[in-house]
Structure 1
Amino acid sequence: MRLDMLFLGAALCVSVAAPILPAAAAVTEQEAQQLKSTLTPLGAERAGNKDGTIPAWTGEGVKTPPGFTTAQRRPDPFAAEKPLYSITAKNMAQHADKLTDGQKAMLQRYPAYRIDVYPTHRTAMTPQWVQDNTFKNATRAKLVDGTNYPVPSGAFGGPPFPIPKSGLEVMWNHILRYIGSQTRGTNGQTWMVTADGKKVMVMKGEQHNMTPYYDPNGSAEKFDGVYFLTRVLNDGPPIRAGEALVGRLNVDDAKTNTWVYLTGQRRVRKLPNSNGDTPLPTSAGMISFDEVSVFGSGPGYYDWKLLGKKEILVPYNTYKLLQPDSAETVMGSSFMNPDYVRWELHRVWVVEGNLKSGKRHTSPRSVYYVDEDSWLALLADRWDVNGQLWRTLYGTPITYGEMSMTDIVTFGYYDLVSGAWYAGPFMNAPGATIGVTASTDLKDSDFTPDAMVGNQLR
């Protein structure tokens, strides 16, 4: 399940006009051969770094312990490891080149905030068939004219641009990263925390997802552009119990459809503007649609600039977050308890988004840090209309060994101006699936307004 997009209709695309661009050429066969030599099957560098602080890629991933069931609390395979060092406001200058602007701001604002750095493990996993498709995508995928902005064509079943030539291609790799074919998650909770430290749960429920883009029986020829289907069913808090949402996301966002069921009205409404900086109702207005999963939107608002690769500290292998039996244990007053957040040094693609001329957005400039191994955007910084650093976003990933999948469990942001923050979903409560589970019985007809209403009225 695309759990990093939980309760939000999952990465609803942006419907905005954009300059039409000519088709971008795919890489050559010779370039694609790097995916079998110097690059990993998904396009990361196989070699470690010069300092030895980032190891070489081995493809081993994470092995699920024998006898483990998804009804159990998911164990931390690195529980015995201790931090190599910790970064605080006092020593941040020594590590400034490995920190984002947002993390520096957090360290400066909160004396108790710290970053515990652990040994790096390149655990990201995908099934072999996804790797095979990614190799094909390298030479067949192109960017072509969409209704509002360039969209991938010829890609299927893997990141479309494993050897990216532009910032836009990197962002499409994040949007179309591998997140399983069918997944479910239950009893996840999302929370907002006010500037004075008051914790308020804003959502609790379950989510069912299908990803036609990763249908094992599909193909590039059969793919019709609908890449993600999601159904969100809310059972709390009481003010939101019974609400539901269905989304059918298309790479061409003009063809995306989302609907919401409101219990007070007892009717379904099609969402007219579920994109960009529109406040997300299910987050009490705390987060915008394009902040879901660090970046959860179509790319049409921004001009994208690829700034290159960089070694930085990012949340990674964050199984520690799943060990407590309540979200409140993980949450502090101003930020998540550093004891439960694992940071590692990884190489990331750095992509800057600047607002297109004539467009409006609360964040005219954003910078995203996309993991080379998984294509997950793990950190981002956003500036407001006055040019002030406003929000720093984060996603905390784990690898599901039994599903050969790496994805974000919890995501959110810290408001560097107001001091408020948002995080979810937390999968710590009794009855939660402690992440997601694979499913095989979902079907296309489950992701329709009629199916949503029928489920909620039962």
Structure 2
Amino acid sequence: MKTTIMLRAGTVALTLLATHVLASVPPQEAAQLGTTLTPLGGEKAGNADGSIPAWTGGLKADAAPVDSKGFLGDPFADEKPLFIITAANFAQYKDKLSEGQMALFKRYPETYKIPVYKTHRTASSPQEVYEAAKTSALNTKSEHDGNDLSNFISRYYAFPIPKSGVEVVWNHMTRYRGKNLYRELAQAVPQTNGAYTIVEVTDEVAFPQYMSGADGAKSENVLFYYKQEVTAPSRLAGNVLLVHETIDQLKEPRMAWQYNAGQRRVRRAPQVAYDGPGTAADGMRTADNADMFNGSPDRYQWKLVGKKEMYIPYNNYKLYSPSLKYADIIKAGHINQDLTRYELHRVWQVEATLKPGERHVYAKRTFYIDEDTWSAVEVDHYDGRGQLWRVGEGFAINDYKEGIANYAGIALYDLMAGRYIIQGLSNEAKHAITYNMAPKMADFTPAALRNAGVR
């Protein structure tokens, strides 16, 4: 009888090892959300010396005036930097900087700087999102080395109390982005002398849970639907990208289509994934560099290094301001750092190492993800030789009106080429991001692409 029990126990253990199931947290641990932890899983308390304050609910919806175009005002417009980190003094702050930030000081010693301001824990979200995060903590499981999710019924923040590196990254990918949005964005890839051409795009993002005509069964494995149209320059205008972003991409890979305005044809676009080329990026970013990181995590082994205090781009309302022109921001080598704002915050540090036998231009990536919003704010990218190659910075803002963590822009700096790409700017847009749109499923089908791309 003892032998039978041991055999059964061994079978169960082997089954768990084979499927690599990581369980949700028990109720007593989930109860920390909203008590010792913020509702989304950050540490509620401040740090020992008070330089990171306690979280007390984040910004209120009326934190600053919002203009007629929907652009957020700056709640901290009157603040000045506490100090500025430069190439001359960065060594004394290196314990609170990433390898990528320090490399930027060395690459651009005369111009790159980090202005450090007082820390404000501004993150806030609607109550329904907080409840969704707790539902995730109690129910969501990751399987197959964390490459897919099961029982992810809440659709937000898959693992607010993470136990592994891949779970931290899943929180970034499943963070709350608002309800069905439309936005006008710009990107540029400056030459080494600073010359650039603005590429303008419109984005539509829709979520199955907020769409009419969405088939429940077909949308069960869809995280969101995404459509992007290039509107300028004229040589690219009319090209449209459509993505159905799946949750379990092992079971059902991301589905993507492109409409080429010149050919007037819709084609499947399997290259819009992993290290495929980014849209109009002049080879300066990969498909999975968008949003700092996106897509299936299956090509990497993920290590949770832990938490650290770090100077990260935060509350970048000045950089987001519609009073700026793109020419004010885009400079040779890197963006205008005088317009940026960095604060001391706690981040999760995660290392992603390419699995043996897998292919990707980045052999290793190091992620720094804000504890309060789960937004990736710094990502270092290494090539196959182990050399630091590209440095990503996400200039975070918190949309206090909608309760959403967003970016004023995302920069990816190529240390070897001396160039970079800046994405997600909206300063000269006709209107800020519009939420609560009412899209139909028919708007996100390959058949709809041709109509969307007519010049």
**TM-score (normalised: structure 2):** 0.90
Does the CA contact (< 8 Å) of 1:247 and 1:257 recur in 2? Answer: yes
Match of 1:109 among 82, 107, 110: 107
Q: For 1:269, give the aligned amino acid.
A: R
Give the corresponding residue for 2:438: 441
Give the corresponding residue for 1:174: 172
Give the corresponding residue for 1:8: none
Q: For 1:334, give the aligned amino acid.
A: G
Give the corresponding residue for 2:345: 346
Cα gap change, 1:451/1:414 in structure 2, threshold over 3 Å: closer, same or farther? same
Shift of 1:53: 0.7
Q: For 2:436, give the aligned amino acid.
A: S
Match of 1:232 among 228, 234, 248: 228
Note if 1:452 corresponds to 2:449. yes
Secondary structure of 1:345's match?
strand
Note if 1:432 corresponds to 2:430. yes
Does the CA contact (< 8 Å) of 1:414 and 1:421 recur in 2? Answer: yes
Does the CA contact (< 8 Å) of 1:331 and 1:337 recur in 2? Answer: yes
Q: For 1:280, give the aligned amino acid.
A: G
Shift of 1:317: 0.7
Give the corresponding residue for 1:304: 302
Give the corresponding residue for 2:43: 45
Give the corresponding residue for 2:11: none
Structure showing greater Rg: 2
Q: For 1:207, give the aligned amino acid.
A: D
1:237 & 1:389 partners in 2: Cα distance?
A: 33
Q: Deviations over 1:189-242 (max 9, x none)?
A: 1000122332232x20211111236779x9x99961101111112211111011
Match of 1:242 among 230, 238, 243: 238
Match of 2:207 among 211, 217, 220: 211
Does the CA contact (< 8 Å) of 1:213 and 1:227 recur in 2? Answer: no
2:340 & 2:106 partners in 1: Cα distance?
A: 18
Q: Deviations over 1:240-299 (max 9, x none)?
A: 011111111111223421111101110101102221111224222221011111112210
2:234 & 2:38 partners in 1: Cα distance?
A: 47
1:64 & 1:281 partners in 2: Cα distance?
A: 36
Alignment of 1:13-412 (within 5 A): 21-64=19-62, 68-69=66-67, 71-111=69-109, 112-145=111-144, 149-186=147-184, 188-201=185-198, 203-212=199-208, 224-253=220-249, 254-323=252-321, 324-412=323-411
Cα gap change, 1:92/1:126 in structure 2, threshold over 3 Å: closer, same or farther? same
Shift of 1:57: 0.3
Q: Deviations over 1:354-381 (max 9, x none)?
A: 0001012111111000111001011010
Does the CA contact (< 8 Å) of 2:148 and 2:247 recur in 1? Answer: no
Cα gap change, 1:400/1:24 in structure 2, threshold over 3 Å: closer, same or farther? same
Does the CA contact (< 8 Å) of 1:158 and 1:176 recur in 2? Answer: yes
Secondary structure of 2:303's match?
strand
Shift of 1:72: 5.0
2:280 & 2:163 partners in 1: Cα distance?
A: 36
Question: Unmatched 5+ residue regions in structure 2?
Answer: 1-16
Q: For 2:28, give the aligned amino acid.
A: Q
2:382 & 2:144 partners in 1: Cα distance?
A: 29
Cα gap change, 1:61/1:212 in structure 2, threshold over 3 Å: closer, same or farther? farther
Give the corresponding residue for 1:5: none
Shift of 1:124: 1.2
2:328 & 2:354 partners in 1: Cα distance?
A: 38
Q: After superposing the two structures, state which structure 1 stretch, 93-102 or 57-66, moved more.
A: 57-66
Does the CA contact (< 8 Å) of 2:261 and 2:454 recur in 1? Answer: no
1:327 & 1:62 partners in 2: Cα distance?
A: 29
Shift of 1:162: 0.6
The count of residues paired between Structure 1 and Structure 2 equals 434
Question: Unmatched 5+ residue regions in structure 1?
Answer: 1-18
Does the CA contact (< 8 Å) of 1:156 and 1:213 recur in 2? Answer: no
1:211 & 1:61 partners in 2: Cα distance?
A: 25
Secondary structure of 1:169's match?
helix
1:105 & 1:412 partners in 2: Cα distance?
A: 15
Higher RCO, Cα 8 Å, sep 6+: 1
2:376 & 2:65 partners in 1: Cα distance?
A: 32
Does the CA contact (< 8 Å) of 1:213 and 1:228 recur in 2? Answer: no
